[in-house]
Amino acid sequence: MPRQVLEDTLTADSIAADTALAASGDPSAFERLYRSHVARVHTLVRRMLDADEADDVTQDVFIRAWQKLSTFRGESAFGTWLHRLAVNVVLARRKRVGVERGRFLTEDGPLDGVTGRRETPELSLDFEEALARLPAGARQVFVLHDVEGYRHDEIARMLGVVPGTSKSQLHHARMALRRHLDR
Amino acid sequence: MNDQWTNRLSEYLDGELDNEERVALEAHLATCGSCYATLAELRQVVARAQSLADSSPSTDLWPDIRARLTPSRRAAVDRPDRLVRRRFSLTVGQLLAASIVLALLSAGGMWIGLRSTKPTVTANQNVTSPPPDYTLASAGRWRTSTDAAVTELEEALARNQGQLDTATVRVLRQNLAVIDRAIAQAQRALKRDPGSNYLNLHLANTMRQKIELLRRANALAAGQS
């Protein structure tokens, strides 16, 4: 067995064992799961929301995971389950604060602030910074589609919009971000 | 660069155009350098998105998470009715208002309390009147039972705070810290002037504020707003 495959198998077995232990109430096992997944969750949350919310919401995701672990059936990898849970927590958060629909774009205007900086090199943004400056709706769709790999119909269901809106938001986001490709 | 095809480039890139549209757009791309260049940039954006790296938070979040893991989780899981409980949070406005009120309560109360260390009982009684049945002896008994209630409520909150938002828990802790400081200040002042009716009453009121806040937090956590 190739070394990488062996390591992946051992890692998967280890995570499966820790998931079972955590589901039975073992905080140490849950800490190991936290350590191995926190970067992925925190990055997703930071990209989907404002950076200053990321720590709090990441905590909420793991506490929610702890509370719901007994419902995890092992039909998907723990990481996949946790990722979906994180997306749900993020979307619930946006919905609760009432900004979800309000920030969806119907025109290009709000993206001008992102695109307009290209002419000023000293103020130029790197890709992640430009992504963070996108309006919430365009940013969410871009992260879910291009970074996380969700389809438009899935995104539309999650965000409560029609697929056409998701496609339009994605195009707006890409058009804005192409000006901030690493040079 | 804003012809009829520009807004369809992402759909083309994602393979979401029907065959007829795709053929037409490809014919357009063969003659439009601007759209061709834009398409190449969009392709790079998609590739860049797929290569973005994850990064860990700048601070270790585990200690706070660990503190909120409820040991009785399995018991809750065994009772399906508790699984569907909603998670409650206070609004930012409510929390800020609570902070301001508590800060004013603490600062104002202590300002008056420190003045009360002078032997001016009459002036203190003018600030706030003790209840009709209030005596120093009853204050001592009340404080004992209050301490027990606070302990019980704090334990309950420690078990239930997993139901609250992290932001709510943080502001709740800040508010409790404000109240605890007010209690500590009142207790210090009482050591200097144990017979002060005002200070005893102020301490009782502050303890009552704490109990009320703890009760409210527990009710929110339990979904009994």
Question: Cβ distance B162 to B69 under 8 Å?
Answer: yes
pLDDT of B120 reads: 38
Question: Cβ distance B178 to B106 under 8 Å?
Answer: yes
Interatomic CA distance for residues B210 and B58, integer angstroms: 33
- Mean pLDDT of the residues in chain A: 82
**Do B33 and B69 fall into the same domain?**
no
User: Does the CB of B47 have a partner CB in chain A at under 8 Å?
Assistant: no
Indicate the number of domains in chain B.
2
Indicate whether B57 belongs to any domain: no
Helix, strand, or coil (residue B115): helix
pLDDT-derived band at B28, boundaries 50, 70, 90 = very high
Q: For the segment B57-100, what is each residue's pLDDT rounded down to a tens digit?
A: 999 999 999 998 876 454 444 444 444 444 445 555 555 555 55
In this prediction, what percent of chain B has a pLDDT beyond 90? 25
Distance in Å, alpha carbon of A13 to nearest chain B alpha carbon: 23
pLDDT of A8 reads: 67
This complex has an ipTM of 0.79
Q: For residue B54, with 0-12 CB atoms within 10 Å meaning exposed, 13-18 middle and 19 or more buried, which class applies?
A: middle
pTM for the whole thing? 0.62
**Do B28 and B77 fall into the same domain?**
no
**Do B127 and B201 fall into the same domain?**
yes
Q: For the segment B168-202, what is each residue's pLDDT rounded down to a tens digit?
A: 887 788 788 888 888 888 888 888 777 777 777 77
**Do B35 and B107 fall into the same domain?**
no
Q: Which residues contact B49 (CB under 8 A, 6 or more apart)?
A: A142, A146, A147, A177
Helix, strand, or coil (residue B164): strand
- Going from the N-terminus, what domains does chain A have, and what CATH number goes with each? 3-96 (1.10.1740.10), 109-180 (1.10.10)
Q: At what angle do helices B33-50 and B19-29 cross, to 10 degrees?
A: 110
Which residue is listed with tokens 């092992």? A74
Which residue is listed with tokens 């490709």? A181
Helix, strand, or coil (residue A76): coil
Question: Cβ distance A175 to B42 under 8 Å?
Answer: yes
Distance in Å, alpha carbon of A3 to nearest chain B alpha carbon: 24
Q: Which of A56, A99, A131, A153 best probes binding to B when mutated, by most B CB atoms within 10 angstroms?
A: A56
Q: What are phi and psi of B108, to 5 degrees?
A: -65, -45
User: Does the CB of B61 have a partner CB in chain A at under 8 Å?
Assistant: yes
Best CA proximity match to A35, nearest among A16, A72, A73, A62? A62
- Mean pLDDT of the residues in chain B: 73
Which member of A34, A39, A170 has the closest CB to residue B10? A170
Question: Cβ distance B119 to B183 under 8 Å?
Answer: no
Indicate whether B186 belongs to any domain: yes
Which member of B11, B16, B66 has the closest CB to residue A27? B66
Is the pLDDT assigned to residue A175 strictly greater than 90?
A: yes
**Do B106 and B33 fall into the same domain?**
no
Of the listed ranges A28-32, A51-55, B135-139, the one predicted with least confidence: B135-139
**Do B125 and B200 fall into the same domain?**
yes
Query: In this complex, do B57 and A54 lie within 8 Å of one another by their Cβ atoms?
Result: yes
Q: What are phi and psi of B88, to 5 degrees?
A: -110, 150
**Do B195 and B174 fall into the same domain?**
yes
Of the listed ranges A12-16, A86-90, A114-118, the one predicted with least confidence: A114-118
Structural domain range at position B40? 6-50
In this prediction, what percent of chain A has a pLDDT beyond 90? 51
pLDDT-derived band at A101, boundaries 50, 70, 90 = very low
